[in-house]
């Protein structure tokens, strides 16, 4: 019986070309249809490892870590100055799933600066914010706003220490009027002090102390009133 030799079939040419086109491990530069450019490492045809992306429409540049096609790890994001065209860093820090996440530093267009923790692209956790007017907030953040415990120091060195909610003073707190040498200790609700006790605080060293002394308190138990207000505030928070 004659021996029939099986003919070896060759894969289609397009299979071979497709296999060679797969980007894996090595550094490649790839241009998108819209003109965006990426130069860096790949895995399974996705940006993975170290790489730099340039967006043609804005000129923005991201340089850092990638994971399966998304910014993930440590990296910096820069944009060109509209006047000088020179690049300036907008954010330097950690990323996760293409969003700011972890510790990072962001510089805003008006010169304000935030350094601290992020979550899903928003300021969340502990952080310090330097505002354009010279004020500084340091404390807890939630969903891009001061929330929790924090301190706000004003340009004249007066400061508030206490609770915050949705970016506003809220809850028990202390306001140090260093320019007047007085201290207000009380309870705030949406930036408004609802009740409290005002006392002198280093009045002799204050640059602009009030002309008249604080009137004598007529309440028999001011501390008790403050405690009662605190209890009412706690009850309202739990509703």
Residue-level pLDDT at 201: 77
19: tokens are 């296999």
Percent over 90 (pLDDT), the chain: 64
Percent over 70 (pLDDT), the chain: 79
H/E stretch holding 184 reads: strand 182-189
Domains of the chain: 23-107 (2.20.110)
Higher pLDDT, 25 or 30: 30
Q: For residue 127, how many C-alpha atoms fall within 13 Å in the half-sphere facing its CB?
A: 27
Higher pLDDT, 16 or 198: 198
Task: Summarize pLDDT for 39-58 with one digit per residue, the tens.
Answer: 999 999 999 999 999 999 99
* Average pLDDT score, the chain: 85
Start-to-end C-alpha separation, the chain? 93
Q: Which has the minimum average pLDDT: 8-17, 128-137, 163-172, 223-232?
A: 8-17
Q: Residue 18 — pLDDT band, cuts 50, 70, 90? A: very low
d(CA 199, CA 202): 10
Residue-level pLDDT at 139: 98
Q: 24: helix, coil or strand?
A: coil
Q: Residue 238 — pLDDT band, cuts 50, 70, 90? A: low
Higher pLDDT, 215 or 89: 89
Residue-level pLDDT at 127: 98
94 forms bridges with which residues in the sheet? 74
Task: Summarize pLDDT for 140-154 with one digit per residue, the tens.
Answer: 999 999 999 999 999
Task: Summarize pLDDT for 114-146 with one digit per residue, the tens.
Answer: 999 999 999 999 999 999 999 999 999 999 999
Residue-level pLDDT at 50: 96
Q: Residue 225 — pLDDT band, cuts 50, 70, 90? A: low
Cα 91 to chain centroid, rounded? 10
Residue-level pLDDT at 21: 44
pLDDT above 60 (res 13): no
Residue-level pLDDT at 22: 54
Residue-level pLDDT at 208: 74
Task: Summarize pLDDT for 169-192 with one digit per residue, the tens.
Answer: 999 999 999 888 889 999 999 999
What number of other Cβ atoms are within 10 A of residue 63's Cβ?
16
Residue-level pLDDT at 172: 95
Residue-level pLDDT at 239: 53
């Amino acid at each position: 019986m004659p021996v029939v030799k099986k003919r070896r079939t060759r894969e289609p040419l397009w299979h071979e070309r497709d296999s060679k086109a797969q980007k894996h491990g090595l550094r490649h530069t790839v241009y998108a249809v819209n003109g965006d450019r990426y130069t860096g490492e790949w895995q399974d045809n996705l940006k993975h490892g170290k790489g730099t992306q340039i967006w043609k429409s804005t000129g923005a540049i991201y340089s850092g870590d990638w994971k399966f096609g998304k910014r993930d790890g440590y990296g910096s994001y820069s944009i060109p100055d509209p006047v000088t065209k020179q690049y300036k860093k907008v954010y330097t820090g950690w990323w996760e799933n293409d969003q700011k996440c972890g510790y990072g530093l962001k510089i805003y267009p008006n010169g304000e600066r935030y350094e601290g923790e992020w979550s899903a692209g928003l300021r969340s956790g502990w952080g310090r914010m330097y505002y354009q007017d010279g004020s500084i907030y340091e404390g807890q953040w939630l969903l891009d706003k001061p929330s929790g415990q924090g301190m706000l120091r004003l340009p004249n060195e007066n400061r508030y220490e206490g609770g915050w909610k949705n970016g506003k003073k809220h809850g028990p707190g202390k306001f140090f009027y260093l320019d007047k040498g007085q201290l207000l200790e009380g309870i705030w609700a949406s930036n408004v002090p609802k009740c409290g006790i005002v006392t002198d605080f280093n009045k002799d060293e204050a640059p602009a102390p009030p002309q008249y002394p604080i009137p004598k308190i007529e309440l028999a138990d001011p501390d008790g009133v403050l405690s009662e207000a605190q209890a009412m505030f706690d009850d309202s928070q739990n509703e």
